[in-house]
Copies of this chain bind each other. A is one copy, B any other.
């Protein structure tokens, strides 16, 4: 009885892979069907629409993501430690759920223009606010430099993390730990030797 949704879940995971690879709109239901060994029309026995498949994948990913960032940001560590923790979490999350992060990061235009998926863009905005708060705290406490435009700095950090989605491969030359170390070192210390 628990196994009833087994096939359904298999299809959903196949869709996840294709959405991440080609983008949601570019991935066709015929490709999903082919990969699942099924006719495209038969997908509609399991799911009402293509959008439903996306929603079922993305919703349970985005909301906990936001919640986790909130938890880190509201801990009582100092701003540099919280920033480190957020970078660490963001990149570890990339390794654990690369497909979902790719979808959510690369299809932002689609989510933003779709009423149904507005919550994804809203979650991004919330996450940005959380990062911004940490930057602001650090600048006020003198833990970060106060001569930087924080909005631009925030954009830079976000691009940095979301951009990593498109080149990092777990089986590649670098471990995620190396990437985290380099990104934290560069972000905190800069290129110039001290």
A174 at the interface (CB under 8 A from B): yes
B156 with A192: CB separation less than 8 A: no
Q: How far is the CB of A173 from chain B (nearest CB, A)?
A: 7
B152 with A193: CB separation less than 8 A: no
A156 with B183: CB separation less than 8 A: yes
A174 with B160: CB separation less than 8 A: no
Query: Nearest chain-B residue to A149 (Cβ)?
Result: B182
Those of A118-138 within 8 Å (CB) of chain B: 138
Q: Give the dominant DSSP class at A's interface.
A: helix
Q: Give the interface segment out of A43-51, A59-67, A162-170.
A: A162-170
A145 with B182: CB separation less than 8 A: no
Known: A159-B160, A159-B163, A163-B163. Is A179-B152 also a contact (CB below 8 A)?
A: yes
Interface residues of A (CB under 8 A from B): 25-26, 80, 83, 138, 142-149, 151-153, 155-156, 158-160, 162-164, 167, 173-174, 178-179, 181-183, 185-194
